[in-house]
Amino acid sequence: MLDLDEVLKRLSYSTFRASFKLTKTEKQYYCEKGRDVIEKHARDFVKTRLAPADPQNDGRQTPMHGHPVFKAQHACACCCRGCLSKWHNIPKGTELTDGQQDYIVNLLMAWIDRQVH
């Protein structure tokens, strides 16, 4: 998989991807729940909403707000299988491997960590 710092740098050049920022409320939620809980949520979201070969409502399965992970998914182009294919060369139509899921979760958490700290 790709170096997370390089991926985040590349994503920052996209006006759309760079427009996402955690709100005060989302940062507060992160602080109240703690990093481990947020990472668990990220793993659950990736496993249920992205990992299947043909996710339900693909392209519309990730809300734009309401949870720090949702915001991170859009900022990191991990919101649907189309974005994963375009930005991360993870092909559509096949179930995500454990390694691909780990990569996505690590990328999401790196973005969130940068937003919070």
User: What pLDDT, in 10s, does the model give residues 49-89?
Assistant: 999 999 988 888 898 888 999 999 999 999 999 999 999 99
Q: Which two tokens stand for residue 50?
A: 């992205």
**Confidence (pLDDT) at 87:** 95
**Confidence (pLDDT) at 88:** 96
pLDDT category, 2, cuts 50, 70, 90?
low
Question: What's this model's pTM, rounded to 2 decimal places?
Answer: 0.94
Q: Where are the domains of the chain?
A: 4-11+24-53+61-116
pLDDT at residue 1 tops 70: no
With DSSP H G I counted as helix, E B as strand and the rest as coil, what are the percentages for the chain, rounded to 5?
A: 65, 0, 35
The average confidence (pLDDT) of the chain is 95
**Confidence (pLDDT) at 70:** 97
Task: Find the radius of gyration of the CA atoms of the chain.
Answer: 13
Measure the CA–CA gap between 41 and 73, rounded to whole angstroms: 12
Measure the CA–CA gap between 82 and 105, rounded to whole angstroms: 17
